[in-house]
Each structure stands twice: as C-alpha cells, then as structure tokens.
C-alpha cells in the first residue's frame, strides 16, 4: 500500500510543479512594428516560439530553416495561432538556410541583401546537440560547424545591413553547458578525438566568445550583441541522445514537470530582441532575462580574438 501512495504523491507533486510553471505567464515586450527579424532554426522549439511571439508583436519575421517543407508547415501553424494581418504589421517569411553548408549560408544572405531594406534583429538560434561524429558539407565537425561556424559566416555577411539599420541587435543562443567546453586550437575539427558532449560544450563556448569579440568590434556602430542560455527546455534538440526504453516514461514525466516549455525557454531571446531595457547593452550574457556572470574562460579576449581569426579563414572570409 505504501508504494502506490508514494507514486500518487510524487505524481501530484509533479503536477503541482507543472501547474505553477504554467501559471507564470511569459512577459510580452512592446511593439516590433516596422522591424525585421531573422531567426535561424525557427521551425521548431525555441525558434518557433520566438517567431510566434515576435509576429504577435507585429515584426516581419524571416524564418531561416534547413527543411523548407517543415518550415512552411510551422509557418502555417503560427499564422493560424497568431494571425498575420498582411498590412505590413506582422509578417512571416520562410527562407531556406542550411547552416551545415557555407554555400547555403551565402545564398541565404545574398537573397536577404537583395530583398530586405533593413534588418533590425538577428537571432542565432539553430543548433545541433550531441550528435554522433559527422561532418558538414565543407568538412567541419557538425556541432562546431553548425553551432559556431555557420552562424559566424551568416552574421558577418549580414553585418552591413545590420549597421545600416542601427540601432539593431544580434542575439546569440548559447548554453550553460559552455562550462564544460574548451577551445582546443590543435583540434578544432575533432579529428584527433571526439566526444559528443564536450564538442557541444565547445561550440557553445565558441558562441559566447564570438559574441564577446563581435561586441568589441561593433562598439560605436549602434549594433549590440548579447548571448544567452535558455535553460533546460523540452525541444527536439536532444534527438541524438539515447534514453533507455524503460526509462523513457520517467524521463518524460520529469521533463514535463521540470523542464521549460519552448515558449518559456524563448523568453530571454525575445527579451534581448525587443525590450527597451537592453537598448545599448552589448557584450553581456543573460539567463531568465537577467544578466549573469561568466566563467573566466568565456571572457578570455585573447582566445576570443584567435578564435575569430581562425574562424574567418575556416569559412573563407580570409585566405
């Protein structure tokens, strides 16, 4: 009799936790009317949630996604949820963008520069998490290639438009797991050794160092750059993580109770993209819409500059 009682009590506790989390309504920012926002990986998870909220705030949202069919489906669903007025006040646009292909990144940016007169916010959101060892189209280790190098090239190619649209913002989605990463310049491509967890953490540390160095380079331009961690969120980012079949029910219950929903996880991205509270703030790291401290290795300016220089060569911006 004791075991069912314990299970029932645990279930009620988890349900209460979920109810309390759901009772906290996300903070809605001000109007984004007349502003254009690019979000990478906007067809699911954090990116989809951010796209819906920014559309609700009347932004023109460009969804940069690898799978066009899935992105079009997500866009239709978001329009049905939020509404799209078609009068220039809130618009959703789908554009193909594969961050595992520098050719695709260049084609995406070329189209944006041809079609868009302004770019107010760039949200570098897309990512791949703890995948088996594989390489991008250009021969880079997948996590470093997508999470860092693809966004590095994307941001650099769009910098001119961002500067011309100033004041404008760049938002870089990182992770608290950066704490377990190291920038090993002798093996950035993980050809000597590969650990999927450490390599993910390395890519997230690279995101923060990139944002820090970019903020330094953009001082005085009116373009701000900030990085963030969204917390632990229930998304499909963990599709490469193997959970034993017997443990899945428990994992699903725990994640339902304690993990953030995509909308909750996207709040800091939305805050940094839209809030007047962070106007002019640059080079900082945020969590739960508040500035947070970084470990010293994420504030190492020498490493940040060296990583920038090497990344420029890797993506072909410099010979």
Crossing angle (nearest 10°) for helices 248-258 and 2-23 = 40
Q: Are 47 and 39 in contact (CB under 8 A)?
A: yes
How would you class 307 by CB atoms within 10 Å of its CB: exposed for 0-12, middle for 13-18, buried for 19 or more?
buried
Catalytic site residue 200? Answer: yes
Q: Provide DSSP, 18-29.
A: HHHHHHSPPPP-
Q: Which of 311, 309, 228 is nearest to 271 (CA)?
A: 228
Q: Rounded to an integer, what is the distance from CA 40 to the centroid of its chain?
A: 7
Cα–Cα distance, 294 to 208 (Å, whole number): 9
Rg (the chain; Cα; Å) = 20
Alpha helices per DSSP H over the chain: 2-23, 45-56, 68-82, 102-115, 142-144, 151-164, 196-217, 248-258, 262-265, 267-274, 301-314
Catalytic residue among 178, 200, 271, 285: 200
Residue 316 and residue 319: Cα distance in Å, rounded?
6
Q: Catalogue the active-site residues.
A: 200
């Amino acid at each position: 009799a004791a075991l069912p009682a314990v299970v029932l009590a645990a279930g009620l506790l988890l349900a209460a936790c979920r109810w309390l989390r759901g009772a906290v309504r996300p903070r809605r920012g001000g109007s984004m009317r007349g502003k254009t926002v690019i979000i990478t990986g906007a067809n699911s998870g954090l990116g989809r949630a951010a796209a819906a909220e920014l559309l609700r705030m009347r932004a023109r949202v460009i969804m940069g996604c690898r799978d066009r069919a899935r992105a079009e489906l997500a866009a239709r669903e978001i329009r049905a949820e939020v509404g799209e007025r078609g009068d220039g006040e809130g618009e959703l646009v789908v554009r193909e963008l594969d961050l595992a292909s520098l050719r695709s990144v260049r084609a995406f940016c070329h189209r944006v520069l041809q079609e868009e007169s302004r770019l107010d916010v760039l949200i570098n959101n897309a990512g791949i998490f703890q995948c088996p060892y594989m390489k991008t189209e250009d021969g880079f280790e997948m996590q470093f290639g997508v999470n860092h190098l693809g966004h590095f090239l994307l941001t650099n190619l769009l910098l001119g438009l961002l500067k011309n649209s100033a004041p404008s913002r760049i938002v870089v989605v990182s992770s608290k797991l950066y704490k377990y990463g190291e920038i090993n310049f002798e093996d950035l491509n993980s050809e000597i050794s590969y650990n999927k967890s450490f390599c993910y953490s390395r890519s997230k540390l690279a995101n923060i160092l990139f944002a820090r160095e970019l903020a330094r380079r953009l001082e005085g331009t009116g373009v701000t750059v900030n990085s963030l961690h969204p917390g632990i969120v229930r998304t499909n980012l963990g599709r490469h993580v193997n959970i034993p079949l017997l443990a899945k029910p428990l994992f699903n219950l725990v994640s339902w109770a304690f993990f953030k929903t995509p909308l909750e996880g996207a709040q800091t991205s939305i805050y940094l993209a839209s809030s007047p509270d962070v106007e002019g703030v640059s080079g900082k790291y945020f969590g739960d819409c508040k500035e947070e401290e970084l470990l010293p290795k994420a504030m190492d300016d020498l490493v940040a500059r060296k990583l920038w220089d090497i990344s420029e060569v890797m993506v072909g911006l410099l010979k």
